[in-house]
Amino acid sequence: MKYICLGFLEPGKFDNMSESERNTVLDQCFSYNDELRKNGHLLAEEPLQPPNTAVTVSWANGKVAVTDGPYAETKEQLGGIQVLEARDLNHAIQLISQSPGVKLNCGTIEIRPAADICEIIRESERRRRKHPSPR
Amino acid sequence: MSDVRVTTRTLCIDLPFAKLNQRSRFAKVVVMSERSTEQIRELLDSLYRVDSRRILATLIRLLGDFDLAEEAMHEAFAAALSLWPARGVPDNPRPWLISTARFKAIDTLRRRAKFDASQDELVRYLEAQSSSAESSNEEDGLEDSLEDDRLRLIFTCCHPSLPPEARVALTLREVCGLTTEEIAKAFLTTPRTLAQRIVRAKAKIRDTPIPYEVPATQELPERLDAVLQVIYLVFNEGYSAAAGAEVTRAELTSEAIRLGRLLAELQPKQEIEPEVVGLLSLMLLQESRRAARTSPTGELILLENQDRSLWNREQIAEGAALLEKALKSRRFGPYTLQAAIAAVHAEAESVAATDWRQIVALYDRLLRIQPSPVVQLNRAVAIAMRDGPEVGLAQIDAVLEQGELANYYLAHSAQADMYRRLGRTAEARSSYQKALALTQQEPERQFLQERIRQLK
């Protein structure tokens, strides 16, 4: 089963580490990721550029609104995403609990089960076949 | 078991049976075999009382759904009442009930599948499961799986991804069999709020899904911790109610102790987790004081003024024996240490004869593994008993200065007590007032008001 893991960290915490501390964290995290990948648990991952590079798109006052900065105004910000393959929730929790990022107190990881929307997509396809939307 | 329990359990199965008796189709059958029906009703009553939680735990595993399992179980008991008088009681009632419940569940799902095609797959899966279970000799493994299933149920109800209040509510409902009304009353919420909490928790278990399993060895310590927390929370809610007229609520403390015993029972003999035993010991030792904690008119009586002849010596003996067991492991967790402190009190004839030196030493150890301000406060009170109020006051002031206990009435009340013993009346009054403003519990309020009156 697929689980999306969102890693939140306090901006600056990483940069404020000494070089050797930082290298330790990186080495341990990358090594753990390699293991997860090898065992078929890590399907995909993307580290993110810092929160100040984010831009938010929404709808306001009848038109598209583009705002600078991330959506969530929280101290800890999204730093990376991983797509995990695990037997079940307990297994996913187990895998993430062992990750060096957690053990070295770098931040918090949110685990969200991926939603299966195949049926919803199929129904939409059926609708669109009957009434193709004008383009 | 007390008589109250019997009544509760009987009520649980009265309703379906009452419905059965009203159906004219069965009227003749009921009249002809009334006596045997009565005996069978009693047997089923006692089966329900003793085994319903175990049966439910197994059905949840087999059917994959809490509500379906509960409904199916009740239908199985109803079926037993209607079929056993004529057919005779089966040699192994439990497997009969479980197997019947499974078939009832499949029937229910088939009915639902007529309106909802997504149920078809589930029906086919369950039917396949039933036929394979019949061909293998299921009964041999049933005893073991019944115990494992109870553990699965406890650990699932206490899963970390459920909100804490939901864990408590779900555990009391599914593991202990309390009704929604009983739980709501005990926690001073409305049945509606509590029912919603339980519905949401079951939905989360179903939708995530949260697997119905005993945690893997590496996760066990943490997950066990969550279970112990729930049990102790229930106990504390019963031992010293947060608000309201009564100081203790007996049903909750006995429920918590039952849970503690169950958990201890289900531990593998070779690897008993000392904190499980430690918690049970702690609860028994605290519970042993219940009769002495309140006066006949419901007033709070402090430890120093309690009539120790009212302490339950049986519970103290059991608690002490369990404590020894826990201490043998040489792994001292917070519950075990708190139990050790309670044991020192339990074995003392009076406040003056209490070994306060040992209590302070135990608090020192507890503080090292559980550095909470409440523990610091309790240690400070023990230090005052050992070294006098001047020293105690200094310690309490230091804890209050840290800030976390600013709204904790017992901190101000402890400080007030030190001032009182030192003859610093004005400061004592002010601290008692602060404490009074922070508690809604009637007996506590009366106690504090009485202390204020005595200062004048």
Query: Residue A73: what pLDDT?
Result: 87
Query: Residue B283: what pLDDT?
Result: 97
H or E segment to which residue B390 belongs: helix B389-402
Query: Residue B138: what pLDDT?
Result: 53
Residues of B within 8 A of A97 (CB-CB) are 219
Amino acid of residue A2: K
What percent of chain A has pLDDT above 90?
73
CB contact at 8 A, A28 and A105: no
DSSP bridge pairs for A45:
A82
**Phi, psi values for residue B350, rounded to 5°:** -160, 170
Query: Residue B142: what pLDDT?
Result: 60
What separation in angstroms does the CA of B46 have from each of A119, B7, B9, B219?
Answer: 47, 11, 8, 37
CA proximity to B212, closest of B151, B263, B168 = B151
Coil, strand or helix at B214 = coil
Mean predicted confidence (pLDDT) in A117-127: 94
Residues of A within 8 A of B160 (CB-CB) are 93
How many whole angstroms separate alpha carbon B370 and alpha carbon B391? 23
CB contact under 8 A, A89 and B213: no
Q: Please tell me which residue, B245 or A111, carries the higher pLDDT value.
A: A111
CB contact at 8 A, B69 and B60: yes
Query: Residue B19: what pLDDT?
Result: 44
- Residue A113 C-alpha, separation from nearest chain B C-alpha, in angstroms: 7
Query: Residue A16: what pLDDT?
Result: 87
Mean predicted confidence (pLDDT) in A41-47: 96
CB contact at 8 A, A111 and A8: no
CB contact under 8 A, B208 and A113: yes
CB contact under 8 A, A88 and B209: yes
DSSP B175: I
User: Across the 456 residues of chain B, what is the mean pLDDT of every consecutive 10-residue run?
Assistant: 35 40 43 66 91 93 93 96 90 93 92 78 74 52 69 94 93 90 84 95 92 87 90 86 54 88 83 92 95 82 89 96 93 94 94 94 95 94 95 95 92 95 95 93 87 89
Q: Which of A89, A90, A94, A108 is the best substitution to test chain B (most B C-beta atoms within 10 A)? A: A90
Residues 6+ apart with CB under 8 A from B85: B29, B33, B36, B37, B40
Helix and strand counts by DSSP (H, E) for chain B: 22, 2
Mean pLDDT of chain A: 92
CB contact at 8 A, B351 and B296: no
Interface residues of chain A, partner chain B, Cβ below 8 Å = 87-90, 93-94, 97, 113
Query: Residue B443: what pLDDT?
Result: 80
- Residue A65 C-alpha, separation from nearest chain B C-alpha, in angstroms: 34
Q: Name the H helices within B64-179.
A: 66-87, 93-115, 120-135, 138-157, 164-170
Query: Residue B146: what pLDDT?
Result: 59
Residues of A within 8 A of B121 (CB-CB) are none
Q: B219 CB near a chain A CB, below 8 Å? A: yes
